[in-house]
Amino acid sequence: MTSTLPQHIAIIMDGNNRWARRGLLPSLAGHRAAITTVRNVIKHCHKLGIPWLTLFAFSSENWRRTADEVSGLMQLFLNVLEKEAGKLAEHDIRLKIIGDSSALSPQIQAAIERCEAKTRQCKRMTLMVAVNYGGMWDLTRAFQKLAAVVKTEDLDPQSIRPVQIQEYLATEDAPPVDLLIRTSGEKRISNFLLWQCAYAEFYFCDTLWPDFTTKDLDVAIADFQGRNRRFGRSE
């Protein structure tokens, strides 16, 4: 057991569509409601002094959803980017978007660039938002980059160490995930941060993401603090 706070929390924000259906609302209503939860969770992590928070906003598999839902999600993401970047900077929170941005519209790519630039010097906390992200994509891209280095810089493949692979991941300098939270009752990580979660503690709860509160986050952190993290060592 430990009283130490997790240094890196990652959250799979699941259950927006089910929340909307439960209220007989269109799916986008669930995604809009989720924004309030996102704001509250960021504020609470900031208050607790947790330096790294990663949120899974849109996976590389989510393109399979209806065109209307995807279009609505992208517009919502653009609106939030343009509205929230200034607030993040005011609270010394660095924003980093991870994922394959090449598939996003030029307008969204430009907004990402502006928002990241506005918060680049912030140091109190780093907020990473995964958009068009997949763990297998992340690893494949890292291996491709390393292979190019092996080919052009005479790097011995046998000398490659995990720390070098980590440098080529989308998360770059982020520490490993300590606590992975998934809402809505699903118990899988859905291709999220596969390398980064190697020794993460997993916490699953039935609460749908729009209903997730700071008290729920405190419960997840308390559960984390009750774990015995051995990292391969014996008792």
Query: Which pLDDT tens digit goes with each residue over 89-123?
Result: 999 999 999 999 999 999 999 999 999 999 999 99
Is residue 148 assigned to a domain?
A: no
- Residue count (the chain): 235
Q: How far apart are CA 61 and CA 81, in angstroms?
A: 22
pTM above 0.85, yes or no: yes
Q: How far apart are CA 74 and CA 54, in angstroms?
A: 19
- Whether residue 219 is predicted with pLDDT greater than 90 in this model: the reply is yes
Is residue 68 assigned to a domain?
A: yes
pLDDT score at 63 = 93
Q: At what angle do helices 27-48 and 67-90 cross, to 10 degrees?
A: 20
The set of catalytic residues is 14, 62
- Whether residue 169 is predicted with pLDDT greater than 80 in this model: the reply is yes
Is residue 157 assigned to a domain?
A: no
Q: What is the residue range of 60's domain? A: 8-134+176-225
- Whether residue 224 is predicted with pLDDT greater than 90 in this model: the reply is yes
Look at the chain and report how many structural domains it folds into: 1
Q: How far apart are CA 133 and CA 192, in angstroms?
A: 8
Is residue 63 assigned to a domain?
A: yes
Is residue 150 assigned to a domain?
A: no
Is residue 171 assigned to a domain?
A: no
Q: How far apart are CA 232 and CA 235, in angstroms?
A: 9
Mean pLDDT (whole number) for 205-232: 93
Is residue 230 assigned to a domain?
A: no
Q: Which two tokens mark 164?
A: 């070098």
Mean pLDDT (whole number) for 43-49: 97
pLDDT tens column, 178-202: 999 999 999 999 999 999 999 999 9
Exposure b/e, 107-122, CB count within 10 A at least 16 = b: ebeebbeebeeebeeb
Q: How far apart are CA 26 and CA 20, in angstroms?
A: 6
- Whether residue 218 is predicted with pLDDT greater than 60 in this model: the reply is yes
Q: Which two tokens mark 81?
A: 């980017």
Question: In the chain, what percentage of residues exceed pLDDT 90?
Answer: 89
Which of 78-92, 104-118, 147-161 is predicted with the least confidence, judged by mean pLDDT? 147-161
Is residue 234 assigned to a domain?
A: no
Question: In the chain, what percentage of residues exceed pLDDT 70?
Answer: 97
List, edge to edge, every strand of the sheet that includes 201-204.
Answer: 93-98, 125-133, 52-59, 8-12, 179-182, 201-204
Determine contact, residues 137/190, Cβ cutoff 8 Å: no
What's the CATH code of the domain at 91?
3.40.1180.10
